Structure 1
Amino acid sequence: MNPPPTSTPAWTLVMTGASRGIGLVAARTIVSTDLSCHLVVLARGGGPAGFVDGFGENAGRVVVVDADLADTAGTAAAAAEIRQMLDDAALPPLRGLACNAGIQYVDDQQVTVDGLEATFAVNVLANHVLIGELGGHLAHGSRITITVSDTHFGDFRHNLGLVPAPRWTSPARLSRPGAFGGASPSAGRTAYSTSKLAAIHLVHEWARHLPDGIEIVSYNPGYVPGTDLARAASAPQRWANRWVVPGLTLVSPLDRPAAAGRRLASAILGVPHAATGAYIDRGRVSDSSAESHDAERERDLWDHLESLRSQTCRRQ
C-alpha cells in the first residue's frame, strides 16, 4: 500500500475493534501511511492504557470515544458524540467507517444490558446502529467496511471443521440467548458463524439503502491465529490459539496478525476497488456463500434491527 499524496484533504475514519489484533495493526498502518486521516476509535473504557501513545508521532490525529458495543444505547450515544465533533468541525469530514469489532463466546447465553445475546449484539446490531447513526454524515466517496468471516460458508474447506455451520432462524430468535442450544462451545461457535452470515446479509441490505457515492463492503480476513478473538474461550483453547496454531502460518496460507492487519487497512482505504455490497476475501473481490444472498432474509433482518434501534432511541 503506497502512501497517498500529502495534499489529500483531511478526512475522518471511525473504527471499532482497533485496540487489539488485526484492527490495531490496520489502524496504525492507516494513520502512518495517510497523513490526512484523523482516526476516531470506539473502545470500551477508552481503550487499553497507552493506546493513543502507541501511535507515536501520529497520536495527535487519534481520538478515542468510550463505547461498549454490547450496550445499544451506549453505542448510539457514542455515535452522537462523534456527530457533534463533526458538526463543530473538531473533526474533518467523515469518509470512512470500519466496523471491525467482533466477539466469540463459549456459549450462546451471554446477555447484554438490553437482554440480547451478546454475539448478535456486538457482531450485528452494533454495526447497524453505527451506520444508521453516522450514515447521514458520510461524505460522497466514503467506504463502509464490515469485517466478517468465512465461517459463514459452514464447510470444511473454509474453516477446517473448527466452527459449526450457521443455522438461520428468525432475526428475533437470533437476537435472544439460547437460539443454538445454550451452554456449550458448539452453541457459542454456531452463534458466531451465524452472526457473520447476518453481517453479510446486513451489508447487502445497506447497499440498497445507502445513497449513490457511499459504498459498503464486507471484508473476510480469514482465520488469523494469535489474535484475541477467542478471548472468551477456555484457558487451554486460548493458549493453543495464541501459541500453537500460529505455527501453521509457516506451512499454510493462514496470515499472521501483521499481514492480516495490513490487508484490512487496504480494504478500509478502498483497495481493491469493489462495487457496493461486495465481499472482499483477504484482499480480492470474491463470492460469499450462496446462502448469504437472500433478499427476504435481508429485509427481515433489517426490519428487526431497525426495531431494536428505534427502541434504543426512545429510551435515550
Structure 2
Amino acid sequence: MQHTIVMTGASRGIGRIAAEHILRQSPHVHLLVVARAASGAQLASELSTGGHAVSHVPADLGSLDSVQSAAAEIRDRLERGDLPPLRAFVGNAGMQYTNALTEGPDGFESTFAINVLANHLFVRLLQDRFAAPARIVITASDTHFGDFKHNLGMVPGPAWKSPDVLARTGAFPKPDTAVGGRTAYSTSKLAAIYLVHEYARRLPAGVDAVAFNPGFVPGTGLARNAGPVTRFAMRRILPVMTLTPFATSRSAAGRCLADVVLGTTQAPTGSYVDRARAVRSSEESYDPQREGELWDAAERFIAAYGT
C-alpha cells in the first residue's frame, strides 16, 4: 500500500544512507524529505533515481516559523490527496554547536530548538494526519548516558535543568566553550528521549514513538561547526574506530535507522533502540516528572506556531 514517510536529516551521513535503504526496501514509499531550499530539490532528484517516489519541502529547522510552514504544506498535500497516507515521521536532523550561546530567530538556544523543539512541532502539527499503523522515530544519542562507556570521554554528560532554562542560551557552565556546546547536545538528546516517552503515553493508539541511537558514528556532518582540528579528526582519524566495537560505520547506522523506521526492528512504543535492538536507556532517562514538565514547557514554546 502506498504511504508517505516524512524525514529530516536525509541529506548526509546516516540519514542519507537510511533514506536510500528505505526506498530500496519499500517500493511503495513516497519519501518526503525536509531540507533547506537550496539542497532539498537536488536531494529529492538524487534519491528518486530508479523511479522512487521522492519529493521535498523546504525548511530551516532552526526556525520554528519555517518548521510550521513546512508542516502546513505537508498537511495540505496530504489533505488534497497529493501524498499517500502518512505512516512515519523521522526526526533525524541534529546539530551540535561549539558553544551554548547560539540563539535562533525565535529566541531559543539553537541546539534545543533543532534537536528538541523542531521535532516536537512537526509531531504535534502532523499528529492527526497519521494513518495507523504509524511510527515516529527520533534520533537520540548514547551521549545521554554521560559515562565513558558510552561516550569515550568525548562528550560531557547531560546537565538537566528546568526546560525554561535549557531552552535559552547560557544554560551551562562555560557556555562560550565547546564543552558548553557539547553539554547542550547531550542534554538535548536526553530531552528527546523524555518526549518519546510522553508521545508513547499521549499519541493515539496505533501511532508508535521510538528513540533511535546510532552509536558513535565518525564522519557524519554533526561536527561541521567544530574547529578545523576536530573536523579533521572526525573525517580522517576517528573513522578507523568503526573497526572496533566502540563506533558504528555510517552505512551500518543508516541501515539500522531504516530498519527501525520500516518496523523490521521490533520496538514497542516508547522504546529506545540501540542500533538493532530495543534496550533500556539510561536510568536518568526514566523520570515521569521531568517528562511531564518538558512536555508542558514544549507545548508553551510552540503554542504560537499553530498547535
Shared fold (TM-score, shorter chain, > 0.5): yes
Shift of 1:58: 4.2
Residue equivalent to 2:115: 123
Contact kept in structure 2, 1:86 and 1:93, CA below 8 Å: yes
- Matched letter for residue 67 of structure 1: A
Residue equivalent to 1:273: 266
Structure-2 change in CA distance of 1:144 and 1:49 (3 Å): closer
Residue equivalent to 1:91: 83
CA deviations 1:4-35 (Å, max 9, x no partner) are xxxxx100000000111000000011112211
From 266, 286, 303, the counterpart of 1:293: 286
- Matched letter for residue 95 of structure 2: I
Q: How does 1:147-296 map to 2 (within 5 A)?
A: 147-181=139-173, 182-296=175-289
Q: How does 1:52-63 map to 2 (within 5 A)?
A: 52-58=44-50, 61-63=53-55
- Matched letter for residue 184 of structure 2: A
Task: Give the unaligned 5+ runs of structure 2.
Answer: none
3-state SS of paired residue (2:193): helix
Contact kept in structure 2, 1:73 and 1:313, CA below 8 Å: no
Shift of 1:48: 5.8
Contact kept in structure 2, 1:32 and 1:58, CA below 8 Å: no
- Matched letter for residue 148 of structure 1: A
Shift of 1:252: 3.3
CA deviations 1:231-263 (Å, max 9, x no partner) are 110011001001100011123342211111011
- Figure out how many residues of one structure are paired with residues of the other and give that number: 306
Structure-2 change in CA distance of 1:91 and 1:74 (3 Å): same
- Matched letter for residue 210 of structure 1: L
How many angstroms apart in 2 are the aligned matches of 1:51 and 1:59? 14
3-state SS of paired residue (2:149): helix
How many angstroms apart in 2 are the aligned matches of 1:86 and 1:58? 24
Residue equivalent to 1:6: none
Shift of 1:70: 0.7
What percent identity do the matched residue pairs reach? 49
- Matched letter for residue 227 of structure 1: T
- TM norm structure 1: 0.94
Are positions 1:36 and 2:28 aligned together? yes
Q: How does 1:62-81 map to 2 (within 5 A)?
A: 62-81=54-73
The CA RMSD measured in Å over matched residues stands at 1.3
Structure-2 change in CA distance of 1:160 and 1:66 (3 Å): same
Are positions 1:140 and 2:125 aligned together? no
Shift of 1:149: 0.1
How many angstroms apart in 2 are the aligned matches of 1:86 and 1:251? 44
CA deviations 1:91-124 (Å, max 9, x no partner) are 0000011000100000001110001100000000
Deviates more, 1:12-21 or 1:264-273: 264-273
How many angstroms apart in 2 are the aligned matches of 1:48 and 1:226? 21
How many angstroms apart in 1 are the aligned matches of 2:49 and 2:240? 33
